[in-house]
């Protein structure tokens, strides 16, 4: 059972009386090096946006860290079509900084040229100085509108839904 992120975005836009971006201009490609500066993996924390590789889909997605365990295991929420969760070690090669493979801004974000340039989301009344931060804000907003089932872990009772890739 999965939840469509685009469906959530459309519902949020509808609640706020806005139109959801559509067509080829729906997502902005970010090329400015200042906006592509990312936090090193050692500084990732709950809420950080990262890129996650899905073996199932054979491609990279932007995701966010939703839980961090003392052991270094991270629980990630990712995938724009159907929200999924995955657990990986912080050091896993299937994780990297936003902007490494994916340079598009989340839906609704626009470029504000200047020194320094910024990404802005008018309806959220937020501006950021990096692509990574824009994705973190996006997932924070999406997560405030959905409830996710916990990920199943070894030793836990069966019957809980597991999101994986």
* pLDDT value, residue 148: 63
Render pLDDT for 124-149 as a digit per residue (tens, 0 to 9).
Answer: 899 999 999 999 999 998 888 776 65
pLDDT band at residue 53 using 50, 70 and 90 as cut-offs:
very high
Range with the poorest average pLDDT among 23-32, 37-46, 56-65, 131-140: 23-32
Task: Return d(Cα 35, Cα 45) in angstroms, integer.
Answer: 20
User: Could you give the C-alpha distances from 155 to 69, 70, 146, 160, 164, in angstroms and in order?
Assistant: 16, 17, 26, 12, 17
pLDDT score recorded for residue 158: 42
Q: How far apart are the first and last CA of the chain?
A: 13
- Three-state DSSP at 6 gives helix
pLDDT over threshold 80, residue 157 = no
Phi, psi dihedral angles at 148 (to 5 degrees): -105, 145
In this predicted model, which residue has the larger pLDDT, 135 or 82? 135
Mean pLDDT, rounded, of the chain: 79
Q: Helices 131-143 and 5-15 sit at what angle, rounded to 10 degrees?
A: 80
């Amino acid at each position: 059972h999965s939840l469509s992120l685009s469906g959530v975005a459309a519902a949020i836009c509808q609640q706020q009386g806005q139109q959801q971006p559509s067509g080829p201009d729906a997502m902005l490609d970010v090329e400015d090096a200042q906006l592509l500066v990312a936090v090193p993996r050692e500084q990732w924390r709950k809420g950080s946006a990262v890129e996650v590789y899905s073996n199932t889909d054979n491609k990279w997605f932007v995701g966010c860290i939703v839980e961090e365990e003392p052991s270094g295991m991270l629980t990630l929420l990712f995938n724009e079509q159907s929200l999924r969760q995955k657990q990986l070690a912080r050091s896993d090669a299937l994780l990297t900084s936003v902007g490494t493979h994916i340079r598009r801004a989340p839906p609704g974000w626009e470029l504000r040229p200047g020194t320094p340039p910024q990404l802005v989301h008018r309806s959220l009344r937020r501006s950021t100085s990096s692509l990574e931060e824009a994705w973190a804000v996006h997932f924070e907003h999406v997560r405030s509108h959905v409830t996710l089932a916990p990920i199943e872990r070894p030793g836990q009772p069966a019957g809980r839904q597991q999101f994986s890739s």
